[in-house]
Every structure is written in structure tokens, then in C-alpha cells.
Amino acid sequence: MELQNIQRLAVFKMRNIGDVLMITPALRALRETFPGARITVVVNSGTEAMLANNPHLDEVLVYQRKEDNGQSRLNRIGYELHFLRELRKRKFDLTIGFTDGDRTAWYALFCGARHRLGAIHHSVSKYDPRHCIYNLSAPSSIPFMHEVEKHFYILDQAGLKLRSTKPGNLCLVVPEDLRAWARKEFEPLRPGRIVHVHPVSRWLWKCWSSESMAKVIDWLQAERNARVVMTTGPVARERERAQEIIRLCNSKPLFYDGNLSLSQIAALSAESDGYFGVDTAPMHMAAAVGVPVVALFGPTNPASWRPWTPQGKVLIHPCICNETKTEACDWNQVRACMAAITVPEAQEALDQMLATPKPQSPVRS
């Protein structure tokens, strides 16, 4: 590929919040490789906060998912055509699909880009039409690796040689006004150590037992003289689970009951002394803002989704679902692998986290 001729490129990552954050090291590398190009990132609505103020891109183009606006079928067709016109208007030279769905492939084709690079899931047949849509060969099989590393592997295998071949840190920019807001929220809790706890995922099968989470929160506040700031997402089932944890606590943490934006949650993490919680987007956000992370893993594999930080600690036990590739666990209960994590294990990991000096506020570039 003639790199010097790439003036406008689009990166597609039309997935969830944490998935979007995982592409930020690749965006940094793309900016270094194409310093003069205009870089547009295409994401689903509700995830764009992960790229706010990111210095390695020029524009975030937000795709409104059908479930976000409840459009009729006719209006939906109109919206899809409008979105395609927006893509074509930008006259991309190169599109990079980090999402293996059909929509990414068809948008790459119809937007008129000369070079179209895409990732195709390893289980897709070689006769899948997406192999014809992408004219830069993407790997048909991706080795087992972390999601951050996969993006670099895809670019390398397609022949796009980056100036930086090693993934760096995640990049999540927290504006100073939000950090000041978080510091003010924490004023009544200082000068003690503050632990940000996000105990619930929107997928409840990722969650630890409410009783165990409450015991750890009480232990942090009563025996380790730390103050807990607890957050949860806005979805009703998440809030109900978080409220149950609060009811079980004897020492009440500062609790934000689903009423914060993603950027505010990131600011709380950035001003805290560490994060404790389950495998969910705020875990990745805490890693991105540079605080130590203790994460509870079960059904998802930490080799692919662990917090991308040298200050991360993962607690996990074998999961029969992952080992046998069957749904052996009850999805409506605390999974066996999560239940196997003990309160003393969590306490030991948190003791190690609290024993480390408070990290300097990092400059995320």
C-alpha cells in the first residue's frame, strides 16, 4: 500500500463500550503512521465517550442503533441511507474494520474507499462475501491473544506496517473540569484512601455474589480505613443488584445509583486510589486512567479481556463453561467460577493494592 497517499481513513469499531476503548492503542499507532491524515472513527451510540478528546483522531461518527431510537422500518431505511451519505461525503482512502460484522463490511464497500481492510471471524467460511468486499487481505484465523493485541495483528497481517508495532497504554482523556468535580465529591472522604467499586455488569452472569461484595466493602471501610465509592450503570437490573449490595452493607459507601455519565465514572476512577469490581467497561476505564485494578473474572477469559495495565490483578477460578464449551452453568445464578472466588482472596489482593503508593495522575497520550 502507498502509505503517503492515504489522506482520509476511517476506523470502524461498532461494538460495546469496552471494545471501543480497546482500539485506542491502535489509534495512537495509526496517527504516528499517518501523521497528516484525517482519522474518523465510527462507533455505536453510547460508546462515543471513550473517544472524547482523544488526541489521535479527528472525528467520531456515531451510528444510532435501532434500539436507541425506536424508529419504524421506513424511517430506519432512511437513517441507514443518510448515514451512508455521511460516510461517502468524507471520501475515505482507507477503511479499517475492527468489527467482524456485516454492517462494517457493507459500509466499507459502499462508502467508496479505495482500500478496504477488514477482520473476519475465524469461524466464517472462506466463501463469505466479506472476503470479496475487503481488498486488503485480513487474517482468516487470529491467534489467541488480548483484544488490544488483535488490532495490531490484523493491521500487520494485512500489510499495513505501523511505525509502532507494540501496543501502548489505553487512552481515555478525562478533562480537568471533570477531575475537579470528582475531587470535590471526594473532599468529605479524604485524607483516607478511596477505592472505586463497580460491582455489577449489565450481564449479571459476570457478577460475584452480593453477600461477598458487601463483605469486602465493609472490610475496606471498617478494617482498612478506606472509603468506598460505588457506582453502577443505569439499566434497571444493574441498579437492582447494586441496591441489594448496599442493603447488605453495614458501613454505607458513597453510592451513585446509575446517575452518572461514563465520563463522570472515569473521573471518579482517575481521582481514586484503585478500582475493585467485575469484568465490565468501568474496569477497562480504570485501567485506562492509570489506577491499580483488582478485577473479578469468571465466564470471560482474562487472556483476551484482562485490564490492559501493568497495575492489574485478576482473580479467577476455572470455569466449566469455558473448559467444555457448553453452557453448563445456570445463567440466572452466580456462576460457579465466580462463586469460587473467596472473600479472603479479594482482601489479599486489595491489601496489596492499598500497600502501593498512590499513583501519579498519568498524562494519557
Same domain, 208 and 88: no
Which residues span the domain enclosing 85? 3-157
Residue 181 · residue 219 · CB < 8 Å: no
In a domain, 336, yes or no: yes
Same domain, 344 and 249: yes
Long-range Cβ contacts of 151-160 (<8 Å, 24+ apart): 151/22, 151/23, 151/25, 151/26, 151/98, 152/25, 152/26, 152/29, 154/98, 154/117, 154/119, 155/26, 155/29, 155/96, 155/117, 158/117, 159/1, 160/1, 160/33, 160/117, 160/136
Beta strands of the chain (E only): which ranges? Answer: 8-13, 38-44, 59-63, 94-97, 115-118, 194-198, 227-231, 254-256, 274-278, 293-296, 312-315
Same domain, 142 and 268: no
Q: Which of 111, 126, 157 is the last residue of a domain?
A: 157
Question: What does the DSSP 8-state code read for residue 308?
Answer: S
- Check whether 347 has a pLDDT greater than 90: yes
Confidence of residue 318 (pLDDT cuts 50, 70, 90): confident
- Check whether 323 has a pLDDT greater than 80: no
Q: Which of 73-77, 237-241, 323-327 has the highest mean pLDDT?
A: 237-241
Same domain, 142 and 195: no
In a domain, 260, yes or no: yes
| pLDDT per position as a tens digit, 184-216 | 999 999 999 999 999 999 888 899 999 999 999
The pLDDT of residue 175 is 97
Q: Which of 157, 185, 219 is the last residue of a domain?
A: 157
In a domain, 170, yes or no: no
Same domain, 95 and 124: yes
- Check whether 360 has a pLDDT greater than 80: no
Number of domains in the chain: 2
Q: What average pLDDT score do residues 147-155 get?
A: 94
**Of residues 93, 136, 133, the one with CA closest to residue 110:** 133
Same domain, 8 and 143: yes
Confidence of residue 225 (pLDDT cuts 50, 70, 90): very high
pTM summary value: 0.91
In a domain, 171, yes or no: no
The pLDDT of residue 121 is 59
Cell of 158: 494485512
| pLDDT per position as a tens digit, 19-60 | 999 999 999 999 999 999 999 999 999 999 999 999 999 999
| pLDDT per position as a tens digit, 90-106 | 999 999 999 877 888 89
Encode 135-159: b = buried (16+ Cβ within 10 Å), e = exposed: ebebebebeeebbbbbbbebbebbe
In a domain, 9, yes or no: yes
Same domain, 314 and 202: yes
Same domain, 125 and 68: yes
CATH number where 114 lies: 3.40.50.2000
When mean pLDDT is compared across 10-14, 126-130, 236-240, 299-303, the lowest value belongs to 126-130
In a domain, 163, yes or no: no
Encode 306-318: b = buried (16+ Cβ within 10 Å), e = exposed: bbbbebbbbbbee
The pLDDT of residue 332 is 61
Same domain, 133 and 182: no
d(C-alpha 282, C-alpha 307), whole Å: 10
Share of the chain above pLDDT 70, in %: 87
The pLDDT of residue 2 is 58
Same domain, 117 and 210: no
In a domain, 167, yes or no: no
The letter for the amino acid at 121 is H
CA distances from 297 to 193, 196, 199, 208, 306 (A): 24, 17, 12, 9, 8
In a domain, 168, yes or no: no
Same domain, 143 and 211: no
Same domain, 262 and 337: yes
Q: Which of 130, 157, 184 is the last residue of a domain?
A: 157
